[in-house]
Structure 1
Amino acid sequence: MRAAVMGSPIGHSLSPFLHRAAYRAMRLDGWSYEAIECDEARLPEVIGGMGQEWAGLSLTMPLKRAVLPLLDTVAPLAVEVGGANTVIFHDGARHGENTDVYGITQALAEAGVRPTSALVLGGGATAASALAALRELGLGAVTLAVRDPARAGETAQVAERLGVALRVETLDKLDALLDVDLVISTLPGEAGDRFAARLAGVPALFDVVYAPWPTRAASAVEQAGGRVVSGFSMLLHQAVKQVELMTGRTDVPVEDMRAAGEEELRRRAG
């Protein structure tokens, strides 16, 4: 069986290392997992040409929203979030799932972070998944800080579908928004780094960046005594759920996958 991660750019993806490690440990000798460069324009052609030998796809940006019209069925959570990062092929049909939300909730649980209030930085697809994860953790209201509120419209619609009361503020007001248990930064590394000193006093930071790690923001929070969760933990756990969905098995070797991902990150850093 074949599986792959698709997006653009895709060369940096850790997903092949995680999934292949799972296949080895699970002795799925006939399974392969590759990385496919694919943008929104090529997506219909590429996904339309996949036959019975395909088990599933992992999707990264910019395909999570673009894939929805190409699917036969979509899980309710993926509909609410407005994006599917996973496609399962079964009996000639394409089914969409969102495992990013699971990845976030598992990453926070693994770190012992149980927020009662949260601030999300950034307004893209990952921020939408963060809102869904926070809802699953029991939060009914979340603050979103973005550079331009006019560009947070889709995320605001997600919050409405989720039943989460969303307060949208601008990043230049960050200092007044930090009285929370948890900050989730969905900003790219360099964009998040400029807020490092201001974030230093928060109790916990979940930074979705995983390379290079630690980010300046993560270092500032950790040095001040706060808890820090890396984007690698989210990536790992969402991949675990993807392997479950694609293979139909629940004996997914989390630690083998973690070790493979960490080894590759060390190789890249060194």
Structure 2
Amino acid sequence: MKTLYGVIGNPIGHSMSPLMHNDAFQEKGIDSHYQPFLVKSEDIEKAVKALKVLGVQGFNVTIPHKRAIMPLLDEVDPLAEAIGAVNTVVRKGDRFIGFNTDGMGFIRSLEESCPFPLDNKAVLIIGAGGAARAIFYSMAASGIKNIDICNRTPEKGEDIIKDCPFPCTSASLSLQQAEQSMELYDIIVQTTSVGMHPETNAMPLNVTRIKEGAFISDIIYNPLETKIMKTFCALGGKGDNGIGMFVHQGALAFELWTGIIPDSDRMRNIVQQQLGG
């Protein structure tokens, strides 16, 4: 009988994770299956109990359950606790342990795509939501020391900075302040939904004053190239979309479950094919 893994969320039909993980199981010769489970918010507690009874060995957690699942788990990894969200659950014996691979998946992607080392670089994160928090804390935990945040409401950025348990030097800016100081940053990380399909002509802020040779990472991958990335690259910068983050957070989850490092290039190809690119 195949070992069972899965993903819970609502909606869940659009998820590319089953294709990605089931291919990885087959490619690595692992007799397992990854199943999507539609779970409504009011059923999350029942679902966690059912997954344990079914013998599920690990599962991903997506919208809207990343925060709600935390008190239902037997243990939560310190980084996930700091971020305040779990996207990967690992079974150890009869215990469910929660992790967050979103931020570290982003860093792996950034290390892969950025044309220069990340050490001693100045970073600006656009947005102050859940993705921004995961990326900020994972960067700080990885030793990146200079990370600023800009947001429509700077108070949300201030909360992220204040709650960060890892050492770094940071400031929370308004969008207008960020536009005026854009040339200070080596790396721009765009974490908002601005520019996502169907609002593809929108940008979260003006980037005309970018630093020469700067890099932008936009976690959106629909479209594959957002307006802010097109504008940034037309001004001489370089950039990448959110496919890498999605792939590497999945690869890290696979590694946590199995102890085996999957072929991330193969995972990327599957996701790109599904997106039509």
TM-score over 0.5 for the alignment?
A: yes
1:53 aligns with 2:58: no
Task: Supply the RMSD in Å over aligned alpha carbons.
Answer: 2.3
What corresponds to 1:254 in structure 2? 264
Which of 68, 72, 75 is the aligned partner of 2:77?
Answer: 75
1:241 aligns with 2:246: no
Contact 1:80 1:162 (C-alpha < 8 Å) held by counterparts = no
Cα distance between partner residues in 2 of 1:104 and 1:182: 13
Cα distance between partner residues in 2 of 1:2 and 1:193: 42
- How far the C-alpha of 1:142 sits from its partner, in A, is 1.8
What SS does the aligned partner of 1:42 have? helix
What corresponds to 1:36 in structure 2? 37
1:173 aligns with 2:177: yes
What corresponds to 2:113 in structure 1? 111
Q: Which moved more, 1:210-219 or 1:134-143?
A: 134-143
What SS does the aligned partner of 1:190 have? coil
Which of 131, 136, 140 is the aligned partner of 1:126?
Answer: 131
Q: 1:48 to 1:120 in 2, by over 3 A?
A: same
- How far the C-alpha of 1:199 sits from its partner, in A, is 2.2
Cα distance between partner residues in 2 of 1:92 and 1:209: 36
- How far the C-alpha of 1:151 sits from its partner, in A, is 4.1
Greater share of helix: 1
Cα distance between partner residues in 2 of 1:166 and 1:62: 29
> What do residues 18-75 of structure 1 show as CA deviations (whole Å, max 9, x unaligned)?
112211211223x221222334332111111112530111112222222111111111
Cα distance between partner residues in 1 of 2:99 and 2:217: 23
Mind listing any 5+ residue stretches in structure 1 that lack a counterpart?
A: none
Cα distance between partner residues in 1 of 2:14 and 2:177: 33
What SS does the aligned partner of 2:189 have? strand
Letter in 2 for 1:175: E
Letter in 2 for 1:261: V
What corresponds to 2:202 in structure 1? 194
Cα distance between partner residues in 2 of 1:260 and 1:103: 17
Contact 1:108 1:114 (C-alpha < 8 Å) held by counterparts = no
Cα distance between partner residues in 2 of 1:154 and 1:9: 29
Cα distance between partner residues in 1 of 2:40 and 2:236: 41
Q: 1:196 to 1:117 in 2, by over 3 A?
A: same
What SS does the aligned partner of 2:42 have? coil
Contact 1:125 1:155 (C-alpha < 8 Å) held by counterparts = no
Q: 1:72 to 1:102 in 2, by over 3 A?
A: same
What corresponds to 2:151 in structure 1? 146
Q: Which moved more, 1:79-88 or 1:5-14?
A: 5-14
Contact 1:82 1:158 (C-alpha < 8 Å) held by counterparts = no
What corresponds to 2:274 in structure 1? 264
What corresponds to 2:230 in structure 1? 219
Aligned length: 264
> What do residues 161-188 of structure 1 show as CA deviations (whole Å, max 9, x unaligned)?
2233432222233312312001111100
TM-score (norm 2): 0.86
Letter in 1 for 2:269: A
Mind listing any 5+ residue stretches in structure 2 that lack a counterpart?
A: none
Matches within 5 A, 1:198-209: 198-199=206-207, 201-202=210-211, 203-209=214-220
Contact 1:124 1:155 (C-alpha < 8 Å) held by counterparts = no
Cα distance between partner residues in 2 of 1:82 and 1:154: 13
Contact 2:88 2:101 (C-alpha < 8 Å) held by counterparts = yes
TM-score (norm 1): 0.88
Q: 1:107 to 1:93 in 2, by over 3 A?
A: same
Q: Which moved more, 1:162-171 or 1:16-25?
A: 162-171
> What do residues 67-102 of structure 1 show as CA deviations (whole Å, max 9, x unaligned)?
111111111211222221101122111101111122
